[in-house]
Structure 1
Amino acid sequence: MKKLIMIALFVSFIQINAQTKGEDTCPCCTDKHAQFDFWLGNWTVYNTDGKIVGANTITKLYDKCVLKEEWISTGTSKGTSTNYYNKSDKTWNQLWVDNSGYSLELKGKLIENKMILKSELIEGQKGWYYNQISWTPNKDGSVTQLWELFKKDGTLIQESFRGIYKKEK
């Protein structure tokens, strides 16, 4: 009888352990981790005049926990970003680095179907400012990326980039 109880307990332990492991096999397979998935794909990027300004490939890596961006402009600019959802503070984060040595760290959230990420305040020649980049999925399947600079008080300084991402076929 003791042997039968031990076997039953052992089998129960194995089943519980298997169920728990099954739940942890994809810790980043959540709705929050999928919020930026509209940006996944191979893209040709156009300016507002319809001229091609570059190509961008966005892939999901590491058990769907990281979005990796690989940018190549029609000029000499190349760069990459790592994007991830931080469960602890419930924000999206991006670290961008390009071949000029420029880097940018952004943090933000999906707001009204638009991913909006901002930098910390940066001191420049004309005072304190921050970067804000937003990605908006459009009805035709394209994505608009808008990079703006704002004064500390939220006043727009300039639009640095506006690109229309169109998926390659």
Structure 2
Amino acid sequence: MKSLLCTVVICFSLSFYAQTKPCNCCTDKHQEFDFWVGDWMVTNPDGSAAGTNTIVKIQDNCMLQENWVSAKGTFTGTSSNSYNYKTKQWEQIWVDNQGQSLHLKGNRKGNQMILQTDEETNKYGKLFYHRITWTLNDDGSVRQYWETVTNTTEVNVAFDGLYKKK
């Protein structure tokens, strides 16, 4: 009987702790990018398949983890996305199976999350940066628009994908 009582007390204590444990990342700021969470089919502007992307919240809601697979399955990538209290901005670290990586920073404005890299110098000596904008559409879909901007005048589109939930 004593062991049953101890088991009940321990279970109650753990349950109470789980209910009262603070959620440090359950703030409005940490939820700004939640519109991107989901299991997505992604298409190119012409409607052809671009790939699939799964975005999940992990680390007690402190991080969004992205797992991208291209339509042919040959290109994959993963990103970690989180709100940085110190810098007061969102940050993304992207790494893919081609050895490429990006570090983007920025904030949400209206229905858009806009992140960009720091400026770098390309092989021609010109400054450039990457800017990626995720737009939440009225129908719940999300557009991801990735631009490479050189000398603030030349803009090349690296990716333009429309996300629709599976």
TM-score for both structures, normalised by structure 1: 0.83
Residues 121-144 of structure 1: CA deviation (Å, up to 9, x unaligned): 111123110000000001111000
Match of 2:85 among 80, 84, 87: 87
Distance 1:157 1:32 in 2: 30
TM-score for both structures, normalised by structure 2: 0.85
Structure 1: any 5+ residue segments left out of the alignment?
1-17
Distance 1:122 1:73 in 2: 27
Residues 101-140 of structure 1: CA deviation (Å, up to 9, x unaligned): 0000000000122000000111112311000000000111
Distance 1:70 1:91 in 2: 22
- Paired residues in the alignment total 148
In the other structure, the counterpart of 1:132 is: 131
Percent of paired sites with the same residue: 48
In the other structure, the counterpart of 1:49 is: 46
In the other structure, the counterpart of 1:4 is: none
Q: Displaced runs of 4+ in structure 1, greater than 6 A?
A: none
In the other structure, the counterpart of 1:9 is: none
Match of 1:101 among 99, 102, 105: 99
Larger radius of gyration: 1
SS of equivalent residue, structure 1 residue 33: helix
SS of equivalent residue, structure 1 residue 58: strand
- Where do 1:109-128 residues align within 5 Å? 109-126=107-124, 127-128=126-127
